[in-house]
């Protein structure tokens, strides 16, 4: 059987996304094949025999479970549409690369020092921390979920330790960004972007709770530029789905504080306090399904 979209997932919290994606595909006359660790081996055998195939792949599993890699390989070898193709996501994961890409295109980022990996250059002198202010953030270039991030660094010893802890990674040292306060809220935002659509949300950096930023509110508070920032990031990273974090600084600049996040945590807010508002996840499922339909000529 030939399916329109294959959705590979291995995280229990993606079950809701799978449900919403199933509905979005059905509403557009598309067929969805879900692949989980329990069904992976039979599917790979069916692909190999030609019994099953698919036109597009949305893979949220191979980055954590290498058993799913043959799905990516099968789709790439046959020129299938891949949402967030693996080689593109791995390029976008590198914060040092994204930092340089952003500043070359006029996007605002925190003042940043990029250090070489410890394995390449064990001994370095750190003499310019004063440019970062009294405290700064340490981040490995590759990684997510806060792994290895030191938010309140103040000493060179902390930098040296981070390099030893992640010896194969470039290390970013970033100045803190002080956001302004708008309407009684800290002007720090997490923005989700999918296939040209942008979903800006107020985001609490302590509780990680989202609150969607409405269009009227955005216009009233002078925040419409957030959407343009997200679209420019999309032009750089060329991903179908990602999230980013942006703060509004006192000088009026939108400063990108966390560059490109993939895979995006799409737990529903109705199930987890720090999840994404359900309407946004529904819209994202619809945009992904529409992207498949748009790139499936026989469906138009």
DSSP 279-299: HHHHHHHHHHHHHHHHT-GGG
**Residue 249: its H or E element:** none
Q: How many residues does the chain have?
A: 300
- Which domains can be identified in the chain, with CATH numbers? 2-84+287-299 (3.40.50), 111-175 (3.30.1490.20), 179-262 (3.30.470.20)
What pTM value is reported for the model?
0.94
Distance, CA of 281 to CA of 91 (rounded, Å): 25
Give pLDDT, residue 227.
Answer: 97
Instruction: Give me the tens of pLDDT residue by residue for the chain, a chain 300 residues long.
Output: 999 999 999 999 999 999 999 999 999 999 999 999 999 999 999 999 999 999 999 999 999 999 999 999 999 999 999 999 999 999 999 999 999 999 999 999 999 999 999 999 999 988 778 889 889 999 999 987 778 899 989 999 999 999 999 999 999 999 999 999 999 999 999 999 999 999 999 999 999 999 999 999 999 999 999 999 999 999 999 999 999 999 999 999 999 999 999 999 999 999 999 999 999 999 999 999 999 999 876 554
Selection from 88, 92, 42, 90 nearest residue 67 by Cα = 42
Selection from 188, 193, 214 nearest residue 203 by Cα = 188
């Amino acid at each position: 059987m030939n399916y329109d979209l294959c959705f590979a997932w291995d995280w229990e919290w993606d079950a809701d996304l799978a449900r919403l994606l199933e509905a979005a595909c059905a509403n557009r006359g598309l067929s969805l094949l879900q692949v989980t660790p329990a069904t992976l081996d039979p599917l790979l055998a069916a692909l190999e025999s030609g019994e099953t195939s698919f036109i597009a792949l949305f893979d949220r599993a191979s980055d954590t479970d290498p058993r799913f890699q043959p799905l990516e390989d099968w789709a790439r070898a046959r020129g299938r549409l891949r949402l967030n193709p693996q080689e593109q996501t791995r390029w976008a994961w590198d914060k040092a690369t994204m930092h340089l890409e952003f500043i070359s295109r006029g996007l605002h980022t925190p003042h940043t020092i990029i250090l070489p990996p410890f394995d390449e250059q064990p001994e370095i002198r750190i003499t310019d921390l004063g440019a970062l202010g009294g405290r700064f953030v340490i981040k490995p270039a590759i990684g997510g979920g806060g792994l290895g991030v030191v938010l309140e660094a103040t000493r060179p010893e902390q930098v040296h330790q981070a390099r030893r802890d992640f010896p194969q990674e470039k290390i970013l040292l970033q100045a803190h960004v002080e956001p302004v306060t708008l309407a009684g809220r800290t002007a720090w935002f997490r923005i989700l972007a999918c296939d040209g659509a942008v979903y800006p949300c107020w985001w609490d950096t302590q509780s990680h709770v989202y609150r969607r930023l409405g269009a009227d509110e955005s216009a009233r508070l002078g925040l419409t530029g957030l959407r343009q920032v997200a679209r420019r990031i999309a032009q750089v990273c060329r991903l179908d789905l990602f999230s980013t974090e942006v703060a509004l600084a006192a000088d009026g600049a939108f400063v990108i504080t966390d560059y490109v996040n993939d895979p995006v945590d799409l737990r529903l807010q109705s199930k987890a306090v720090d999840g994404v508002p359900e309407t946004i996840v529904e819209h994202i499922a619809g945009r992904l399904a529409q992207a498949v339909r748009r790139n499936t000529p026989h469906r138009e």
